[in-house]
């Protein structure tokens, strides 16, 4: 038993965002540009891409917010809340207003 878990606590199996938020799995960080330039590990990129894992019930019921599960999105990570659910910590709860673009195929 983990000392930090309360007695009888079950590990989390799902994360469901509340309010106008979505759960995003951040894409892998790019280590090299298309031109072959190696990027430093500590570079700060103002926006990053990822895939929507889960949408809150509120967002799902708003037709004016065109987001679906598995959409690839560009989002501002400044307001993103990391979810320590996986070892590599690539899950983030993001408010809808921090999603700046959705990638769509024509």
Q: Considering the domain boundaries, does residue 9 fall inside one?
A: no
Contacts of 16 (CB under 8 A, 6+ apart): 23, 54, 56
Q: Considering the domain boundaries, does residue 1 fall inside one?
A: no
Q: Considering the domain boundaries, does residue 36 fall inside one?
A: no
Q: Considering the domain boundaries, does residue 67 fall inside one?
A: yes
92 strand-pairing partners: 24, 82
Cβ atoms of 103 and 83 within 8 Å: the answer is no
Predicted TM-score (pTM) of this structure: 0.72
Residues in the chain: 106
pLDDT, one tens digit for every residue, the chain (106 residues): 444 555 555 555 678 899 999 999 988 766 656 676 666 666 655 568 999 999 999 999 999 999 999 999 999 988 899 887 656 668 899 999 999 999 998 8
Q: Considering the domain boundaries, does residue 52 fall inside one?
A: yes
Provide the domain count of the chain: 1
Which residue range is the domain that position 81 belongs to?
Answer: 21-28+46-103
CATH number for the domain spanning 78: value is 2.30.33
d(CA 67, CA 69): 7
């Amino acid at each position: 038993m983990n000392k930090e878990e309360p007695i009888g606590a079950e590990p989390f199996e799902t994360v469901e965002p509340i309010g106008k938020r979505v759960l995003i799995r951040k894409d892998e960080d790019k280590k090299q540009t298309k031109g072959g330039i190696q990027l430093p590990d500590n570079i700060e990129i103002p926006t990053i891409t990822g895939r929507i894992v889960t949408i809150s019930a509120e967002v799902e019921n708003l037709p004016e917010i065109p987001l679906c599960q598995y959409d690839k999105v560009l989002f501002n990570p400044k307001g993103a809340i990391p979810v320590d659910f996986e070892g590599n910590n690539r899950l983030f709860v993001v408010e809808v207003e921090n999603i700046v673009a959705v990638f769509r195929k024509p």
